[in-house]
Structure 1
């Protein structure tokens, strides 16, 4: 049985911005035209080739945790925020509010209690809160097909969250496989982001970090089926 080391990447953003379609496109290179409503979190896996084409090339599992964006579950989402190795912030290009809310999402993830308790209040955004943050971050704008070129340029110039976090960003249409086609600019940016996540987890602090548990596809399936169970119990807190 082939086993690979894994990293965990959270995919967060407002409800309805297209996170589930994005994750499906990344992991399966297929369009998900009829996604279901995410309750709790859904987990999918992509095999990523770290440093592809170099002598250091090595395969890793990228666990993508698609966290439901409903405000009704804001007090119990913290159960998914442990051992985060990377964060993908997703907003909809036709919804300005979803972009502004990325600050709240990042605050919610990064200000979680170290002991696994509830996240601290995120009502006020403080850019200094993220100073020195070492978790790789990627900002993605969805539904690019619904935005005219003038407004898209405006939005890309006002994505302050990416600038504040030193994050890469790009826009795409999750219903068009060409937007993540191998060799495309978007695909290269995504691959570089995953390289950063793997590097920080396994190479930047090798003496401090212990190797994470290796997994196979059957284990991923088991973990995915348990997510809903954990969320139901968390909602009682």
Structure 2
């Protein structure tokens, strides 16, 4: 793919958090590569992906950090929370334990990100309706009580995966427009980029190759 000049106006930093095996890496891979990878190895530490999207006519580059869900990596992954403009908090609708742990993940997110970080709750594996262990209604109520965006998605079928990343970006962009997000703050998770090249070139599509995807 040919390289292109800086063809985006903003960079938004995202993190994906949640228990091991909920499909965090598979969501990232579906979003950046539009493919589902079965039998994903678990992420060790963090993995990274990017994609350029468009919100209100503005091109925005998403830098997405996919964090490991295992407790033994929490000390490492917590360092990636800082400076995140958006956080995707994922649970598995077929495993209630992953839903029960959301309060702990949310506490970390609230404590380690800035007050304006947009957090979206994602119930993954919506394609496994027959195995559902967490109702849509209770998750929606949890999201409303905690001021979170919410939707169910399927990394396997791609259902609502685009919307998950886009809805968070729309909210972040709205916060920029109404002045509630200070772009000069180091922890905002947003960088404003010039539309013209400044001595560098980058690959806009496709995104960096990744070995595989760890849930």
Check conservation: 2:92, 2:123, Cα contact below 8 A: yes
Report what 1:158 is aligned to: 138
1:48-101 C-alpha deviation (Å, 9 max, x unpaired): 1012xxxxx010101111111111122232211111101111000111111121
Q: Residue 34 in 1 paired to residue 39 in 2?
A: yes
Q: Which has the higher contact order (CA 8 A, sep 6+)?
A: 2
Check conservation: 1:102, 1:161, Cα contact below 8 A: no
CA distance in 2, matches of 1:166, 1:216: 36
Q: Secondary structure at the match of 2:191?
A: coil
Check conservation: 2:82, 2:113, Cα contact below 8 A: no
CA distance in 1, matches of 2:48, 2:164: 22
- Cα gap change, 1:199 to 1:37, in 2 (>3 Å): same
TM-score by length of 1: 0.69
Instruction: Give the unaligned 5+ runs of structure 2.
Output: 185-189, 194-200, 211-215
Q: What is the alpha-carbon root mean square deviation over aligned residues?
A: 2.8
Check conservation: 1:9, 1:85, Cα contact below 8 A: yes
Report what 2:5 is aligned to: 2
Check conservation: 2:85, 2:116, Cα contact below 8 A: no
Aligned length: 189
Q: Secondary structure at the match of 1:9?
A: strand
CA distance in 1, matches of 2:19, 2:91: 7
Instruction: Give the unaligned 5+ runs of structure 1.
Output: 52-56, 115-132, 181-185, 225-237
CA distance in 2, matches of 1:208, 1:14: 31
- Cα gap change, 1:47 to 1:113, in 2 (>3 Å): closer
Name the structure where strand makes up a greater proportion of residues: 2
Structure 1 runs of 4+ aligned residues shifted over 3 Å read: 186-190, 213-218
Check conservation: 1:9, 1:65, Cα contact below 8 A: yes
Deviation at 1:8, TM superposition (A): 0.6
CA distance in 2, matches of 1:22, 1:213: 26
TM-score by length of 2: 0.76
Deviation at 1:36, TM superposition (A): 2.7
